[in-house]
């Protein structure tokens, strides 16, 4: 009888350990805010200089087999506060006369999770939208557009435009304003699906709610 108590305790310990195993904890568990943002940063932003990923924030469009349009985007974050940088590539032929850059500053709690939409394009078809349903289209690049709740102008936008062939006061212009919409550029439409899912997740964790209608 004296040996039955330790055996009973051992049995209880085994049952408890099985209930709290890593597998059971993983079932139904959701990534935290910091984990999700870290994944987004690690995969979307370029980290090749430190041996990391090349990044996915590139939109490159071709005409007659040659690249003529190229835009990039990256982001930084501090908790629920996010800054998105979007930049035209001035070396691309399309931007030889004019190129722009934008910086969006916003809080994820102000974003409508239902507004996160993916728009796909065929880079070899001159960037034609895949919504046109043309034959033989390869929809491999795109954009993820998102908006604030109820389209309220809660994002800060710093806009910079440059005319490289002009000089003096006509060379460039800057403007700071409020807006309700922005977009991430994507070089891989399959990755865009994963990123959009993660983006909706961090919006929800930061308290973002859908628009009223």
Confidence of residue 12 (pLDDT cuts 50, 70, 90): very low
Helix, strand, coil content of the chain in percent (nearest 5): 35, 35, 30
Per-domain residue ranges of the chain: 32-205
Mean pLDDT of all residues in the chain? 88
Q: What pLDDT is attached to residue 136?
A: 82
Q: Is the pLDDT of residue 11 over 70?
A: no
Owner of token pair 């998102």: 146
H-helix or E-strand spanning residue 208: none
- Runs of H (alpha helix) within 51-93: none
Q: What pLDDT is attached to residue 97?
A: 97
Provide DSSP, 131-155: GG--TT----EEEEEEEBGGG-S-E
Distance separating alpha carbons of residues 89 and 60, to the nearest angstrom: 10
Per-residue pLDDT reduced to its tens digit, 111-129: 999 999 999 999 988 888 9
pTM of the shown model: 0.84
Per-residue pLDDT reduced to its tens digit, 159-173: 999 999 999 999 999
């Amino acid at each position: 009888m004296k040996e039955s108590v330790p055996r009973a305790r051992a049995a209880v310990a085994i049952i408890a350990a099985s209930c709290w195993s890593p597998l059971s904890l993983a079932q139904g568990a959701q990534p935290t805010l910091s984990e999700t943002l870290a994944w987004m940063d690690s995969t979307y932003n370029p980290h090749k200089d430190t041996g990391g990923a090349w990044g996915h924030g590139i939109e490159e469009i071709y005409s007659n087999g040659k690249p003529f349009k190229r835009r990039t985007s990256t982001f930084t974050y501090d908790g629920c506060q996010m800054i998105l940088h979007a930049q035209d590539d001035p070396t691309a032929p399309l931007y030889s006369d004019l190129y722009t850059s934008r910086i969006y500053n916003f809080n994820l709690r102000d974003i409508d999770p239902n507004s996160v939409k993916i728009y796909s394009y065929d880079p070899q078809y001159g960037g034609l939208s895949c919504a046109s349903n043309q034959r033989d289209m390869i929809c491999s690049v795109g954009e993820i557009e998102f908006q604030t709740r109820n389209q309220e102008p809660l994002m800060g936008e710093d806009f910079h435009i440059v005319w490289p062939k002009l000089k003096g006061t006509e060379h460039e212009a800057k403007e700071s304003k409020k807006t309700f919409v922005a977009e991430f550029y994507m070089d891989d439409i399959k990755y865009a699906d994963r990123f959009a899912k993660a983006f909706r997740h961090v919006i929800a964790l930061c308290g973002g709610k859908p628009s009223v209608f």
